[in-house]
Amino acid sequence: MHWSTGTTTHPKISQPTSTIIVGDKGKLVFSPSSLNASIGTTIAFNFLALNHTLTQSQLQDPCRNASGFDSGFNQFNPTNISGRFVVEYTVTSDEPQWFFCAQTARLAHCQAGMVFSLNPRGLHAQFVSNAMEKIPSTTSSHEHACSLPISSTAP
């Protein structure tokens, strides 16, 4: 008697990807400004006009670096080319996460409302309001023209 031994190939399960436009249409925005995403989702932040960051903060102190994820100023894109600078962030928690743009040259982007919330649980409006009420807690001003694409996994 002969038994057939077959192999089954399972297709690789791809994780969902979401795209956030940073500096959409030259405005100080993350578009969309909030997102609900499950663990394993990759968020592609497509940096367009001007010079922005994706810097992790906290709900109550939206415009201060919380010593978490920080893309730095590596996405200067004066010619507004889509896809030129993409920072990938992989969601590792379903807890709320808060981000802002740390640019302060000419105008403090965070205080202008340039914030992004991940899994905000209904607190996004409060996060925006907190950002627009805050006086910058640091006075450092950065404007760099380095252009290195970044790919990272959340801490």
Residue 31 backbone dihedrals phi, psi, to 5 degrees: -130, 115
Q: Which pLDDT score, from 0 to 100, does residue 29 have?
A: 96
State which amino acid sits at residue 17. T
Quick: pLDDT tens for 74-87.
667 778 889 999 99
Domains of the chain: 17-151 (2.60.40.420)
Query: Would you say 103 and 52 are in contact if contact means Cβ atoms under 8 Å apart?
Result: yes
| Cβ neighbourhood burial of 25 (10 Å; 0-12, 13-18, 19+) | exposed
> How far is it, in rounded angstroms, from Cα 39 to Cα 20?
17
Residue 108, strand partner residues? none
Provide the residue-wise pLDDT of the chain in tens; the chain has 155 residues. Answer: 444 444 444 455 677 899 999 998 889 999 999 999 999 999 999 999 888 999 999 999 999 999 999 999 866 777 888 999 999 999 999 999 999 999 998 889 999 999 999 999 999 999 999 999 965 544 443 333 333 334 444 44
Q: Is the pTM value of this prediction over 0.85? A: no
